[in-house]
Amino acid sequence: KMLDAQMLNIQALENQNTEKLPAITDILHKAKRVYVAGFRASYPPAFGFHYLYRLFRSSVYMLRSDAGTLEMELRSLGPSDVVLLIGFAPYSQEIVRVYEAAKAAGSQIIAMCDSPVAPIALEANGLLLFNTETSSFFPSITAASALVELLAEQLLARTGMRAVNDIAKAEQQLH
């Protein structure tokens, strides 16, 4: 039962996002800097995206809010930046704060979330959707993680051989 729900969530990604993915990939690819934010249960897919994209692009930054420093981190947002927000209901105060700061800074916003009427999606420049349904008490982040991987793969393909070479360098450093 649980695995069936996870599989349905992943299968829904295609219908929800296929048409939007090229434009969102382009927005991220053209950004001067990419900031990624996800808090509480949305942190794992956000960190996963940050990690994967950072393997082949150095101008990707994770907004973390460690030790109450979120306000300080948000000061660096600018109009040539893109902020990728990952979240689902109930939305954290921090993710809404990042959304508001990105809007105020004139940054482009990509929302990856569970609803087109989520507070982080309403005025976003791009929207990717994932389902969180499960037979468990806890919402599922499986589809969000799969969507993160799909987006990273699209960015890798868009970046081309330069990305492949950067990943090879990173792997040499890691091993």
pLDDT at 98: 98
pTM above 0.85, yes or no: yes
Question: How much is the pLDDT for 142?
Answer: 96
**Would you state the pLDDT for residue 123?**
95
The model's pLDDT over 65-95, given as tens digits with 9 standing for 90+, comes to 888 889 999 999 999 999 999 999 999 999 9
Q: What is residue 21's three-state secondary structure?
A: helix
3-state secondary structure of 141: coil
Residue of 20, 3, 37 lying closest to 126 (CA atoms): 20
pLDDT of 39: 97
What pLDDT shows up at residue 65? 86
Alpha-helical regions (H) of the chain: 2-17, 21-30, 43-54, 70-74, 93-105, 142-159, 161-174
Q: What is the pLDDT of residues 100-141, one digit of tens each?
A: 999 999 999 999 999 999 999 999 999 999 999 998 888 999
Please give the backbone phi and psi of residue 140, each rounded to the nearest 5 degrees, phi first.
-95, 135
User: Contact at 8 Å (CB) between 151 and 20?
Assistant: no
**Average pLDDT across the chain, whole number:** 95
Q: Are 84 and 128 in contact (CB under 8 A)?
A: no
Task: With cut-offs at 50, 70 and 90, classify the pLDDT of residue 157.
Answer: very high
What pLDDT, on the 0 to 100 scale, is given for residue 85? 98
